Amino acid sequence: MKAKNRDQSLSDSRELDGSYDQLTDSVEDDFELSTVCHRPESMDKLQEQTKFTKKELQVLYRGFKNECPSGVVNEENFKTIYSQFFPQGDSSMYAHFLFEAFDTDKNGSVSFEDFVFGLSIILRGTINDRLNWAFNLYDLNKDGCITKEEMLDIMKSIYDMMGKYTYPNMQDDAPREHVESFFQKMDRNKDGVVTIEEFIESCQKDENIMQSMALFDNVI
């Protein structure tokens, strides 16, 4: 008797609420149900195309499928997942740039193949491959060179991830200053843009960057 009352009251509250559409018996909701279900290619194929072992692919896929049962990640989901790692700041902009970099076929969603290809380059590629990938991330309009505006966007997104509570206090021009020092280091011919050759050359000369690139060797 009690359960029936509850169901009754639920339908009544829907009527009073106004968001309930009587004709189609559906409740307006914000998110769309994705009817897409994407299955990745077979593991053998993926193993050929990437440099991961079977076991690693299995672990990666299980984690991927857990968060995205439909088989693809859309940008909202991507941002939500990434923001869980940075509780103090706002990582949505950087997640957006990452999404653009992973979504190589530009269809608005990252499938498992895209995901794994990207990871393969970062985690199992040569230093040059990694630098190429990083350049691709920075080059927002994919025209082969990084302008100061593009770099400023990237820098701001990185600084946003720090959030408000930092020491020393975050100044507003911190990203801009950082961009200036970056261009000083990278822009050889001082033409205001950084091309891929300048980028790779400058990075190879920098000890710190070479060392940090090697960090990715044993992430998985």
> Which residues contact other proteins (rule: CB under 8 A)?
55, 59-60, 62-64, 66-67, 81-82, 84-88, 94, 97-98, 115, 118-119, 122-123, 130-131, 133-134, 137-138, 154-155, 158-159, 161-170, 174, 178, 181-182, 199, 203, 208-209, 211-213, 215-216, 218-220
Least distance (Å) from other proteins to the CB of residue 149?
15
CB closer to other proteins, 39 vs 62: 62
Tally of CB atoms within 10 A around 216: 16
Least distance (Å) from other proteins to the CB of residue 23?
28
CB closer to other proteins, 22 vs 167: 167
At 48, the amino acid letter reads: E
User: And the tokens for 26?
Assistant: 């559906």
CB closer to other proteins, 21 vs 220: 220
CB closer to other proteins, 24 vs 66: 66
Q: 3-class DSSP state for residue 170? A: coil
CB closer to other proteins, 23 vs 165: 165
- Asked if 49 and 125 touch (Cβ cutoff 8 Å), the reply is no
Nearest alpha carbon to residue 214 among 142, 137, 157, 131: 131
- Asked if 150 and 139 touch (Cβ cutoff 8 Å), the reply is yes
Least distance (Å) from other proteins to the CB of residue 40?
16
> d(Cα 44, Cα 116) in Å, to the nearest integer?
13
Nearest alpha carbon to residue 40 among 60, 23, 17: 60
Least distance (Å) from other proteins to the CB of residue 21?
24
- Centroid of chain to Cα 23: 40
CB closer to other proteins, 21 vs 214: 214
- Asked if 75 and 99 touch (Cβ cutoff 8 Å), the reply is yes
Nearest alpha carbon to residue 64 among 13, 15, 102: 102
Least distance (Å) from other proteins to the CB of residue 115?
7
Least distance (Å) from other proteins to the CB of residue 203?
6
